Amino acid sequence: YMNKSKFSYFIHMFSMLTTAILFFSSIYILFFFGLNVEIKMKYIWGVLAISLILSAAYLPLYSDLSKKAYIIGSVIYYVFADCVVLGVGLLLGWFRLEVPASIIGMEITFVVVSFSVFFIEYLSIKHSTHVLNDQLKKVHDMNATISSGKNS
């Protein structure tokens, strides 16, 4: 069962992952295959499959965890995500095992996509925290004003 908050977060992660993968893999494709490459539909489905799997796999981290559990879960998620990306990439021919530079490029792209998604998520959480703190301060100030008015 997935509540509305988790579903919204799933859609949020899916959108971020899909956008980051498409953007950074376009740079990878340009670098390793050139400008005149034709993209097949299986590439799009591969990106969507990766985004779907990794968004679902991230949901357990979207809960109240201790800092230690979150860090351990994040490391496990990162290794799992790398395996998923390499597995799908190998299956769909995104890189060739006989060309080490393409594997290295794939790993660099994976790291950049992962860093980008985690960084955007960090900024989003930081912004949400700032907004909530501002709202709490306003409520606190309003209560203080009401309390001081009663004491007059």
Whether residue 116 contacts residue 20, with contact meaning beta carbons closer than 8 Å, is answered with: yes
Global pTM reads: 0.75
Kindly give, in sequence order, each residue whose CB lies less than 8 Å from that of residue 2, ignoring residues fewer than 6 positions away. 10, 59
pLDDT in tens, 84-127: 999 998 998 888 889 898 889 889 989 998 888 888 888 887 88
pLDDT in tens, 47-71: 999 999 999 998 888 777 888 988 8
| 2 pLDDT above the threshold of 70 | no
Residue type, 95: F
Cβ of 39: how many Cβ atoms within 10 Å?
Answer: 11
pLDDT band, residue 151 (cuts 50/70/90): low
Report the sign of the C-alpha dihedral through residues 115, 100, 18, 5, in that order. Answer: negative
Whether residue 22 contacts residue 47, with contact meaning beta carbons closer than 8 Å, is answered with: yes
Helix extents (H) in 34-66: 41-58
Identify the pLDDT of residue 150: 66
Residue type, 53: I
DSSP assignment letter at 63: S
Q: How far apart are CA 152 and CA 68, in angstroms?
A: 49
Helix extents (H) in the chain: 4-33, 41-58, 67-91, 100-150
